[in-house]
Amino acid sequence: MNSGDTIAAFSSPVAPAARIILRLSGPEAIELAGRLSEGELPEPPSAARGRLGVNELRFPAWIYLFGAPRSYTGEDLVEFHLPGNPLLAQMTLQYLLRLGARLADAGEFTARAYFNGRIDLTEAEGIAATIHASNQQELSAARQLMAGELSRRVEPVIDEVAQTLALVEAGIDFSDEDVSFLSPAQASERIAKADRALEDLLRDSARFERLSHEPTFVLVGRPNAGKSALLNALAGHERAIVSPVAGTTRDVLSAPITLARGVIRLIDVAGLEHADELPEQSAADPQAHIHRQMQDHARRAAQSADRLVLLRDITQNEADPMLPRKPDLVVLSKADLNDSACGSRDSYLAVSARTGDGMDKLRAALDELAFGATASSAKLALNARHVQAIEEARIALAHAANQTSATPELLAMELREALDALGRIAGRVTPDDVLGRVFSTFCIGK
């Protein structure tokens, strides 16, 4: 990345829309904006509505100017809000490139914000996590990172360790003098306090890897209970074959289902039967062998599911099949064929895949099972890099705790190790390869 270049890229999708946003950042950003504009631009920070000239074309646009260092990137930055025509937007970008701008690399705008001190590395990771969030939990956690919550939690620990290290090093410098800057007991107390804060941070935080997990819900029930019809209704298209003939579903079928706070994976399996209802296996009857395989696959899927949904045919009075575990939700299907109203019945949900009755309540119940009762329970989330740095700091602090009564030089070395590990979280002492991995997750224009 050459910070002396002026970079350009779209920061919104290039598709038919009300407007398309094109960004410029760098030392020549405002000058290039002036060369496109047919009128004189005001001093930044400002917004101006004017006309742009690209080749022989003239068209209106909004131009937003931000001066260094008070911009997103810490450099002179310009945003063109163009008419939402993709061809016109591409022509404008190509014109800026011919004037001397360079196409931005992925994540280069945010990387410049980091290198110019506008944000720290955890805030940059929060921006990337916000871009890639696929559910409300991920979005809430990403916003906390982007707001600098992790840095605020780690900063007091860094200060505690740094002050302890300073006192230890002062004692080394004045070792010939009859003066004590930090007793072993005081050092142990400070180290224990820092370690407890890091332990609390790990305990009170979630992991982005877990938040990004797509919960799997398996539909189980007797043959012809209406599982395939329900899967199709929730998915919004015909994913599974629906037939009044029992046993239509033979393999494991799945579809992503978009709910209010995220996406789940809904899995339809073959109807489950009791062991005494299964046909005997024999070499002369290959269908019996296939039937038993269907049952085995269905039970394995039910056993490994995050959530199990039992479907009962409201028109039948059959015993439930044997399940590997207790279902998380019981749903009564085919409610349109019964006189009782759809919705809640005997603490169960009654739905009709054919008419749609009760489906909103089912979606709400699935959403609560997948993402919790309320969205307010979202907590700070850490990625693998954060966890590794915190765990390395705790290991160094544990070693330091064993050195409080030993050689002060060894104690100082372990405290520096802990301080370096914590510094990597916010990007104070982060190697270039780590920075490359962080910003490579961004898209161009961010």
pLDDT of residue 86: 94
Reported as a pLDDT band with limits 50, 70 and 90, residue 262 is confident
203 Cβ neighbours under 8 A, 6+ residues apart: none
CATH class of residue range 122-205+381-426: mainly alpha
Reported as a pLDDT band with limits 50, 70 and 90, residue 289 is low
List pLDDT tens digits, range 243-259: 454 445 455 788 888 88
List pLDDT tens digits, range 161-200: 988 888 888 877 666 565 566 888 899 999 999 999 999 9
- Token pair listed for 131: 């871009």
Reported as a pLDDT band with limits 50, 70 and 90, residue 264 is confident
Q: What is the CA radius of gyration of the chain?
A: 31
DSSP state at residue 48: E
**Mean pLDDT across the chain, nearest whole number?**
82
Distance CA 319, CA 274 (A): 10
Exposure string for 60-72, b = 16+ CB within 10 A, e = fewer: ebebbbbebeebb
pLDDT of residue 9: 95
Reported as a pLDDT band with limits 50, 70 and 90, residue 222 is confident
Task: Give the CATH number of domain 7-120; options: 3.40.1830.10, 3.30.1360.120, 1.20.1530.20, 3.40.605.10.
Answer: 3.30.1360.120
Region 275-301: what's the mean pLDDT? Answer: 60
Task: Give the closest residue to 234 by CA, choosing from 375, 320, 349.
Answer: 349
Distance CA 120, CA 128 (A): 13
345 strand-pairing partners: 348
Reported as a pLDDT band with limits 50, 70 and 90, residue 207 is confident
Reported as a pLDDT band with limits 50, 70 and 90, residue 273 is low
Look up residue 59 and give its amino acid: F
Report the CATH fold assignment for 216-377. Answer: Rossmann fold (3.40.50)
Look up residue 31 and give its amino acid: E
Region 94-102: what's the mean pLDDT? Answer: 95
List pLDDT tens digits, range 5-59: 999 999 999 999 999 999 999 999 999 999 998 777 888 999 988 899 998 899 9
Task: Give the closest residue to 258 by CA, choosing from 237, 274, 275.
Answer: 237
**Residue 414 pLDDT exceeds 50:** yes
Look up residue 286 and give its amino acid: P
- Token pair listed for 228: 């395939």
Q: Determine what percent of the chain is predicted with pLDDT higher than 70.
A: 81
**Residue 279 pLDDT exceeds 60:** no
**Residue 443 pLDDT exceeds 90:** no
Q: Are 362 and 351 in contact (CB under 8 A)?
A: yes
Cα angle 33-66-429, degrees, rounded to a multiple of 5:
115
Burial group, residue 248, by CB count within 10 angstroms (0-12, 13-18, 19+): middle
**Residue 376 pLDDT exceeds 50:** no
Q: Per-domain residue ranges for the chain?
A: 7-120, 122-205+381-426, 216-377
189 Cβ neighbours under 8 A, 6+ residues apart: none
Region 275-297: what's the mean pLDDT? Answer: 57
Backbone angles phi, psi at 285, to 5 degrees: -125, 85
Reported as a pLDDT band with limits 50, 70 and 90, residue 341 is very low
**Residue 395 pLDDT exceeds 60:** yes
Higher pLDDT among residues 408 and 261, named by residue: 408
pLDDT of residue 429: 58
Distance CA 185, CA 182 (A): 8
Higher pLDDT among residues 128 and 190, named by residue: 190
Region 304-322: what's the mean pLDDT? Answer: 82
78 strand-pairing partners: 24, 65
Region 127-145: what's the mean pLDDT? Answer: 81
pLDDT of residue 292: 63
Reported as a pLDDT band with limits 50, 70 and 90, residue 87 is very high
pLDDT of residue 287: 56
pLDDT of residue 177: 62
Task: Give the closest residue to 141 by CA, choosing from 204, 214, 197.
Answer: 204
Distance CA 12, CA 20 (A): 6
- Token pair listed for 245: 């003939």
